[in-house]
């Protein structure tokens, strides 16, 4: 089942170029998925009452066009037929008939207390999964190449405005952190973001930010103050 919602872009979603931040497009996609779950079940609240939660593991997000304030968009999302402990979901954003962005996301369903992973067959959805997986240029599973040298470029403390109900940095905010450390964002736009979420960044934690690059783009690794890798990402840009 493909589920869709319509939105009008708010001016506060835009950056100093007057275009929508990449993280905001990700938020529209996640919001649409949340609305589908709320309408057809199981909702996030119902899962939490059963001591379960969906945790985002990986995303592969491609941007084809830029959005501006007042643009009207349609966001489509659907669960993809999955197996094992990986739950796949795809999303697309349209402005009229123009395709703006696409995403493949991988989730895990965990027990909040024990961190046990549930299998796809352990949960019953109120909607059918679709067989059609999006095929994007970069695979959703990636590793930072061994030849890429990562250098420390900054530190970031997880604040109130970063956190969600789980009291750790919301997955959509990572893209803002990466973009904060991209060179020349005035003249370059993000065209691809691949993110592997590895461990949580709780409220008050300080994460070290490392960056390297090659001909494909910029690689990021964030490391918690306990030494555990928090996330890894490939951000690809193009001239505006």
> What mean pLDDT is predicted for residues 215-231?
96
Nearest to 108 by CA among 32, 56, 69: 56
In this predicted structure, the answer to whether residue 67 has a pLDDT above a threshold of 90 is: yes
Confirm whether 1-141 and 142-240 share one CATH topology: yes
Q: Which CATH class is domain 1-141?
A: alpha beta
Q: Are 205 and 157 in contact (CB under 8 A)?
A: yes
**Model confidence at 201, in pLDDT bands (50, 70, 90)?**
very high
Q: DSSP for 24-51?
A: HHHHHHHHHHHHHHHHHS--HHHHHHTT
Mean pLDDT of 67-82: 97
Q: What is the pTM of this model?
A: 0.94
pLDDT tens digits for 83-119? 999 999 999 999 999 999 999 999 999 998 898 999 9
Residue ranges of the domains in the chain?
1-141, 142-240
pLDDT of residue 99: 98
How far, in whole angstroms, is CA 86 from its chain's centroid?
15
Q: Average pLDDT of 120-127?
A: 93
Mean pLDDT of 202-206: 95
pLDDT of residue 10: 94
- Architecture of the 142-240 domain: Roll (3.10)
Q: Would you state the structure tokens that stand for residue 50, as one six-digit string?
A: 């059963």
């Amino acid at each position: 089942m493909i589920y869709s919602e319509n939105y009008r872009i708010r001016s506060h979603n835009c950056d100093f170029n007057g275009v929508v931040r990449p993280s905001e497009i990700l938020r529209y996609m996640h919001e649409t998925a949340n609305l589908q779950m709320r309408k057809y079940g199981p909702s996030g609240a119902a899962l939490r009452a059963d001591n379960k939660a969906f945790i985002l593991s990986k995303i592969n997000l491609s941007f084809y066009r830029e959005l501006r304030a007042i643009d009207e968009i349609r966001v489509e999302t659907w669960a993809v037929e999955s197996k094992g402990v990986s739950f796949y979901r795809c999303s697309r954003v349209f402005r009229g008939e123009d395709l703006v962005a696409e995403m493949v996301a991988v989730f895990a369903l965990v027990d909040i207390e024990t961190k046990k992973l549930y299998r796809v067959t352990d949960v019953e959805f109120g909607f059918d999964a679709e067989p059609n997986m999006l095929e994007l240029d970069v695979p959703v599973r990636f590793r930072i190449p061994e030849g890429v040298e990562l250098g420390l470029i900054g530190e970031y403390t997880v604040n109130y405005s970063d956190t969600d109900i789980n009291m750790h940095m919301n997955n959509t905010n990572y893209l803002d952190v990466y973009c904060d450390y991209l060179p020349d964002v005035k003249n370059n736009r993000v065209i691809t973001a691949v993110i592997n979420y590895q461990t949580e960044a709780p409220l008050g934690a300080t994460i070290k930010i490392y960056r390297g690059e090659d001909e494909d783009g910029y690689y990021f690794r964030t490391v918690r103050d306990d030494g555990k890798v928090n996330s890894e990402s490939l951000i690809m840009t193009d001239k505006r």
